[in-house]
Structure 1
Amino acid sequence: MNVLLADPFFATPEFKTALRNRVPAARVAIWGEDSIPNDVDVLATWTIPDDMRRLPVGLQAIFCFGAGAGHLLADERVPYGLPIVRNLDDGQAEQMLDYALHATLARQLDDQNLLIAQRQAAWERPRSARRQRGSLKVTILGNGFIGRRVSEGLAAYGFSVARWTFSAGDAIPGLYRGPDQLVDACRQADVLINVLPLSPDTDHILSSDVLFALRRGAYLVNIGRGSHVDDRAMLTAIDRGVLAAAWLDTFRREPLPDDDPLWSHPRIRITPHIGGLPTIDGSANALADVLEVLCSESALPGLVKRR
């Protein structure tokens, strides 16, 4: 199988070695450095380089190094029928669970109010007893590879977890499905964690209807995409006490401009898109799985669905 690497982060000897350890027969070329074979089976990248005017001949699939692939779906160079495969990176999923757990424990400990009190040099203890993990409802938006890992990890830690997916399907306990059940999934949640991919259907999905369904004093945790958040609705929910804190890891514009007022908001926690970074070994294993499936003509893991 011929693989063309076109992502600067993964166009390294370390990644090539990790991939060949799993698939010794893989022939790997790096865009802009190596000669490109006549037939490329898989293009592995986050975005298609600007100087790649057309996709390689014989391409069977695009392997996307990120968890979301909406930008590839929108790329005019990608024909409609060409499979796009997400990176099912176990290491990245574990990082996103860590981020979600960090924020959820912060909600349990009333961390944002304690931080504000510290900034004001105010010795103020919480007015109510700390709630037990099982009494806190955590709603996860997204039930794909990342969403399931996050929900399973939080449930294993003792939190009460509900999940929501855009897709229809069979009824499963604790899983809400479709737009009509979105608000119900979020109703009275103490923590709302978004790990959805971005699509026209999920743009601004964190709206007033969703946020004002949460329990008063809830935490919003966005490790999906910046465009998922309706900023005006979020700020209104904070001002009215519905949200005690918003943890934002992704933004419409990145890096977030240094004059953006979100930086200094006392109830907003900003991180620079580090919720889940792809790993060398995890990504190599995920790409190796795709190569092996292509050889066997089985169903591709992590296949992106077009709507």
Structure 2
Amino acid sequence: MTPKPNILVYSADQAEAYAECIRGYGFSSVKAASTLEEAKKYLPGTEVILGWKFPTQCLNEPIASSVRWFQSMGAGVDDLVSDTNIPENIILTRIVDQFGGYISEYVFTYLLYIVKDVPRMSKAQLENRWDPFISETLAGKTMGVAGLGSIGAEIVRKARAFDMNVHGLSFSGKQAQLVDRHFTSDKWKEFVKELDYLVLTLPLTEATHHVINRDVLLAMKPEAAIINVGRGALIDEGDLLAVMRSGHLQGAVLDVFETEPLPKDHPLWRMPNVYVTSHLSGPSTRDGVSRFFAENLKRFLNEQPLQGLVDRNRGY
């Protein structure tokens, strides 16, 4: 291994800015590419790629034979795991422990918006109408967090500050001690039946695709709400639409969708109790990603285990 690996940064609109950040950490052999042609130009001799929406078809070509490690700029890697263009010998890593703060604030922005009935307050102001009322409180409500990784754990921590009861569901059970009650992945209906709010932070795998379907949604309390900050395809959107049109569920906060951008004619845009945002709850910031990557580069050079290592069999 060379003392300083040859690095290629790929981003359609921020490649050079990211590259400059990486150079600031003392890594001088850094190239920036924002197009397929530039990627092909710089791939020969490249050992490490930091990328977002990288043209992975290049990785099966002889020009990419030196690539040993691909660091994604995001947390979700279901697209990379299923991509047959990426040779098995290339190590995959994802960003971890960077999104909990942002995403938990997003979740509680909407929970407070709903529980305090901010729309009613806003409407009264627009109508110059004095409208005192007693709103509900999050205290004593039960939140269920599906996925207890770093993001889920931070949501649980914030929920404790609001004196909420917290239930959790996870596949490994490693973080079961964080929650008041823990459920395994074969107990979805039992998990959701007592919840006031269900928050999804799970990765997308074969086991979690459309895990939230009609049966699970109908097992929830009619006045419950669902928040998805994980991956869009965790929810069967057709089932969600049908269930909510029937009057079941108080609301849905959706930051991720099966098709992104969400098509302009999609009925979710127009449903009054659905809150649609543009996959913005957990932004990958340039400084944060660069700092994470630089620390991982040091681990790579010292032949230490990398942070965010992806298990292809597990799917994340």
Given the two structures, how large is their TM-score scaled by the length of structure 1?
A: 0.85
- Of 208, 217, 235 in structure 2, the residue corresponding to residue 202 of structure 1 is 208
- Identify the residue that residue 99 of structure 1 maps to in structure 2: 106
Cα separation, partners in 2 of 1:255 and 1:217, compared to 1, 3 Å: same
Cα separation, partners in 2 of 1:50 and 1:135, compared to 1, 3 Å: same
Do the aligned residues in 2 keep the contact of 1:89 with 1:278 (CA within 8 Å)?
no
Once the two structures are TM-superposed, the CA of residue 300 in structure 1 deviates from its matched residue by 1.5
Q: For 1:120-199, list aligned pairs within 5 A.
A: 130-169=135-174, 172=177, 174=179, 176-199=182-205
Name the SS for the 2:195 alignment partner: coil
Give the residue type in structure 1 aligned to 2:18: F
Name the SS for the 1:48 alignment partner: coil
Do the aligned residues in 1 keep the contact of 2:8 with 2:42 (CA within 8 Å)?
yes
Give the residue type in structure 2 aligned to 1:167: S
Alpha-carbon distance in 2 for matches of 1:87, 1:170: 19
Once the two structures are TM-superposed, the CA of residue 72 in structure 1 deviates from its matched residue by 0.5
Once the two structures are TM-superposed, the CA of residue 280 in structure 1 deviates from its matched residue by 0.6
Alpha-carbon distance in 2 for matches of 1:111, 1:214: 24
Name the SS for the 2:250 alignment partner: strand
Do the aligned residues in 1 keep the contact of 2:217 with 2:243 (CA within 8 Å)?
yes
Name the SS for the 2:219 alignment partner: coil
Gapped regions of structure 1 (runs ≥ 5): none
Do the aligned residues in 1 keep the contact of 2:300 with 2:306 (CA within 8 Å)?
yes
Provide the aligned length of Structure 1 versus Structure 2. Answer: 301
Once the two structures are TM-superposed, the CA of residue 245 in structure 1 deviates from its matched residue by 0.8
Do the aligned residues in 2 keep the contact of 1:89 with 1:285 (CA within 8 Å)?
no
Do the aligned residues in 2 keep the contact of 1:176 with 1:182 (CA within 8 Å)?
no
Do the aligned residues in 2 keep the contact of 1:107 with 1:218 (CA within 8 Å)?
no
**2:54 aligned with 1:48:** yes
Name the SS for the 2:58 alignment partner: coil
- Identify the residue that residue 71 of structure 2 maps to in structure 1: 63
Alpha-carbon distance in 1 for matches of 2:176, 2:104: 25
Alpha-carbon distance in 2 for matches of 1:201, 1:81: 25
Alpha-carbon distance in 1 for matches of 2:43, 2:140: 57
Alpha-carbon distance in 1 for matches of 2:130, 2:7: 58
Cα separation, partners in 2 of 1:290 and 1:270, compared to 1, 3 Å: same
Give the residue type in structure 2 aligned to 1:101: F
Gapped regions of structure 2 (runs ≥ 5): none
Cα separation, partners in 2 of 1:134 and 1:269, compared to 1, 3 Å: same
Give the residue type in structure 2 aligned to 1:62: F
Given the two structures, how large is their TM-score scaled by the length of structure 2?
A: 0.83
CA displacement 1:82-139 (0-9 Å, x = unmatched): 321111262x432212211112212322457x49987xx8x89799x54432311111
Give the residue type in structure 1 aligned to 2:194: Q
Do the aligned residues in 1 keep the contact of 2:156 with 2:178 (CA within 8 Å)?
no
- Identify the residue that residue 283 of structure 1 maps to in structure 2: 289
- Identify the residue that residue 29 of structure 1 maps to in structure 2: 31
Once the two structures are TM-superposed, the CA of residue 156 in structure 1 deviates from its matched residue by 3.1
- Identify the residue that residue 20 of structure 2 maps to in structure 1: 17
Q: Cα RMSD between the aligned structures? A: 3.0
Do the aligned residues in 1 keep the contact of 2:196 with 2:225 (CA within 8 Å)?
yes
- Identify the residue that residue 309 of structure 2 maps to in structure 1: 303
Alpha-carbon distance in 2 for matches of 1:265, 1:192: 19
Name the SS for the 1:43 alignment partner: strand
Name the SS for the 1:212 alignment partner: helix
Once the two structures are TM-superposed, the CA of residue 161 in structure 1 deviates from its matched residue by 2.4
Once the two structures are TM-superposed, the CA of residue 246 in structure 1 deviates from its matched residue by 0.9
Do the aligned residues in 2 keep the contact of 1:89 with 1:283 (CA within 8 Å)?
no
- Of 241, 249, 257 in structure 2, the residue corresponding to residue 251 of structure 1 is 257
Do the aligned residues in 2 keep the contact of 1:6 with 1:44 (CA within 8 Å)?
yes
Cα separation, partners in 2 of 1:227 and 1:44, compared to 1, 3 Å: same
Alpha-carbon distance in 1 for matches of 2:250, 2:13: 36
Do the aligned residues in 1 keep the contact of 2:94 with 2:309 (CA within 8 Å)?
yes
